[in-house]
């Protein structure tokens, strides 16, 4: 026998189930008085720097039905491209921007909504700039391990064309599944879990 | 948080043969909610290496006490009183300090406090079912609750979930984000459950089963279960051929 490497195995994922709201957004689910407010509701305040935007959309299953019990989290840099994280060593991010948001899909319409700011650009490993993007993590009943993807913006065509991640995508006809469509100060980003319009998900 | 220099390496790749796959048809809802195309793989960028970290200021005094955080003054939830404790560590065995854990569960009769839930078992007026805490310098956490009951669910005609507590875990990077479920040692329903069995490897399932921990019980008060959680480890940045932080 060779020596053992000694690494542990990651705790395996399980579905968040239909009642994820009880733990992650209790006020939304009607359990009030335990936490003052649900985490991740407010990403910005009146001092946050950058362009205010709204990102909204729905998550569809393989039959085209919107999920009304999903939970989305987003993570993004501030308007200067800095993350509000201890692992961010390039400088101090805007203290008035959390960078992290959490939103359940509406129990009737299935819509999610994030009030945030347009993110700045962040360098890839080799120093090239990635196009402005928002990282997304989706959990729900029926999803055994959280799905990771990114939101890019349709008014950033030049940057998108040079983005090291988008450029890796072999089937170019799938790139639009990662690009949100602008409508005024809002962007629409629908997510398709399965089928012809399937969103690109990451192993990252 | 500590005064150690923050770690900024990329995370070890996820072993997706260890985790449950997306498509597990015995768990019926997964059939139309599983992507059919291959995942796009790339090494972590700053977007995955960084992640939100939460301070203790978000915590209320009873956030880690589900027996009392929803109860009327002087009252408490009904059920077997337990302490759940353990460590959050990474694949290298290092404690993850400052990790936010959120947990939720049904009451002792298997009933969730949720408007979509209609199981005939009654609500406990003194039990909400949510809690949270943040790990200490060595990655330790603990909370008090009542042991949840098993409950039936509309999958197969006669499927019951084993007693379980859901956990949501934040590490230090967004790529470490994890939601899982803790089961209880000795529960015969674990091995019948299609959600448990979405995990292909028996050893991986056993990683979700918390042993009874008599050494940490409080006599005449509460039993204890120990549940350690392992998050993705980080690569060292010592010999990376790139600028630090890029």
For chain A, say whether B154 makes contact (Cβ under 8 Å): no
Please determine, for residue B244, whether its predicted confidence score (pLDDT) is greater than 80: no
| Residue B135 maps to a domain | yes
Q: Write down the residue that tokens 């935007």 correspond to.
A: A53
Burial of residue B167 (CB within 10 Å: 0-12, 13-18, 19+) is: buried
Check if the beta carbon of residue A99 is closer than 8 Å to that of residue A93: yes
Residue of A nearest to B64 (CA): A34
Q: What is the CA radius of gyration of chain A?
A: 18
CATH number of the domain residue B138 falls in? 2.60.130.10
Please determine, for residue B42, whether its predicted confidence score (pLDDT) is greater than 90: yes
| Three-state DSSP class for residue B78 | coil
Please determine, for residue B8, whether its predicted confidence score (pLDDT) is greater than 90: no
Cβ separation A89–B8 shorter than 8 A:
yes
Check if the beta carbon of residue B114 is closer than 8 Å to that of residue A21: yes
pLDDT in tens, B110-124: 999 998 888 999 999
- Residues of chain A found within 8 Å of residue B90, distances taken between Cβ atoms: 8
Range of the domain at B118: 67-231
| Residue B107 maps to a domain | yes
- HSE (side-chain half, CA atoms, 13 Å) at B242: 16
Contact residues for B18 (Cβ-Cβ < 8 A; gap 6+): A9, A10, A12, B201, B204
- Residues of chain A found within 8 Å of residue B177, distances taken between Cβ atoms: 73, 137, 146
Tell me the shortest Cα–Cα distance from B2 to chain A, in angstroms: 11
Q: Which of B85, B144, B164, B172 is catalytic?
A: B164
Can you tell me the distance from the alpha carbon of B82 to that of B65, in angstroms, rounded to the nearest whole number? 10
Q: Is B63 left (phi over 0), alpha (psi -120 to 50) or beta?
A: alpha
Q: What is the CA radius of gyration of chain B?
A: 19
| Residue B52 maps to a domain | no
Quick one: pLDDT at residue B241? 52
| Residue B7 maps to a domain | no
> Is the dihedral angle over the CA atoms B148, B228, B211, B220 positive or is it negative?
negative
In chain A, what are the domains? 20-192 (2.60.130.10)
pLDDT in tens, B152-174: 999 999 999 999 999 999 999 99
pLDDT in tens, B180-234: 999 999 999 999 999 999 999 999 999 999 999 999 999 999 999 999 999 999 9
pLDDT in tens, B124-136: 999 999 999 999 9
pTM of the model: 0.96
| Residue B239 maps to a domain | no
Q: What stretches of B42-97 adopt beta strand conformation (E)?
A: 81-90
Query: Which phi and psi (to 5°) does residue B193 adopt?
Result: -85, 125
In terms of Cα–Cα distance, which of B174, B243, B102 is closest to A83? B174
Cβ separation B204–A12 shorter than 8 A:
yes
Nearest to A7 among B14, B91, B131 (CB): B91
* Mean pLDDT of all residues belonging to chain A: 97
| Residue B186 maps to a domain | yes
Number of structural domains (chain B) is 1
| Residue B44 maps to a domain | no
| Three-state DSSP class for residue A148 | strand
């Amino acid at each position: 026998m060779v020596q053992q490497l000694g690494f542990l195995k990651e705790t395996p994922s399980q579905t968040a189930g239909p009642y994820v709201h009880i733990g992650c957004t209790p006020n939304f689910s009607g359990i009030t008085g335990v936490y003052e407010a649900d985490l991740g509701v407010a990403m910005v305040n009146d001092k946050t720097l950058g362009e205010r935007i709204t990102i909204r959309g729905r998550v569809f299953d393989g039959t085209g039905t919107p999920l009304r019990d999903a939970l989305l989290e987003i993570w993004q840099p501030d308007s200067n491209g800095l993350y509000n994280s201890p692992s961010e060593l390039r400088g101090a991010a805007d203290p008035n921007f959390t960078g992290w948001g959490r939103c359940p899909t509406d129990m009737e319409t299935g819509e999610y909504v994030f009030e945030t700011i347009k993110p700045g650009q962040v360098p890839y490993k080799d120093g090239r700039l990635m196009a402005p993007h928002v990282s997304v993590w989706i959990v729900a009943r029926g999803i055994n391990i959280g799905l990771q993807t990114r939101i890019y913006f349709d008014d950033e065509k030049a940057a998108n064309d040079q983005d090291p991640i988008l450029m890796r995508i072999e089937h170019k006809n799938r790139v639009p599944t990662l690009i949100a469509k602008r409508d005024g100060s809002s962007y629409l980003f629908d997510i398709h879990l399965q089928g012809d319009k399937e969103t690109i998900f990451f192993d990252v | 948080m500590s005064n150690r220099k923050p770690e900024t390496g990329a995370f070890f790749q996820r072993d997706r043969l260890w985790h449950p796959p997306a498509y597990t048809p015995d768990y019926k809802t997964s059939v139309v909610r599983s992507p059919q195309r291959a995942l796009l793989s790339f090494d972590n960028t700053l977007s995955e290496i960084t992640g939100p970290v939460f301070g203790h200021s978000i915590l209320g005094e009873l956030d880690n006490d589900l027996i009392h955080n929803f109860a009327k003054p002087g009252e408490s939830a009904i059920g077997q009183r337990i302490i759940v404790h353990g460590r959050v560590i990474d694949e290298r065995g290092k404690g993850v300090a400052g990790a936010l854990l959120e947990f939720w569960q049904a009451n002792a009769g298997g009933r969730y406090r949720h408007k979509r839930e209609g199981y005939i078992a009654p609500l406990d007026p003194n039990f909400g079912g949510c809690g949270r805490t943040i790990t200490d310098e060595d990655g330790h956490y603990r909370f008090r609750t009542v042991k949840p009951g098993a409950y039936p669910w509309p999958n197969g005609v006669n499927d019951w979930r084993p007693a379980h507590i859901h956990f949501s875990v934040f590490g230090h990077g967004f790529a470490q984000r994890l939601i899982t479920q803790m089961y209880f040692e000795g529960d015969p329903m674990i091995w019948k459950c299609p959600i448990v069995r979405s995990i292909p490897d028996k050893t991986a399932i056993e990683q979700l089963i918390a042993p009874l921990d008599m050494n940490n019980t409080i006599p005449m008060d509460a039993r204890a279960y120990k549940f350690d959680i392992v998050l993705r480890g980080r690569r060292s940045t010592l010999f990376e051929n790139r600028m630090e932080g890029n």
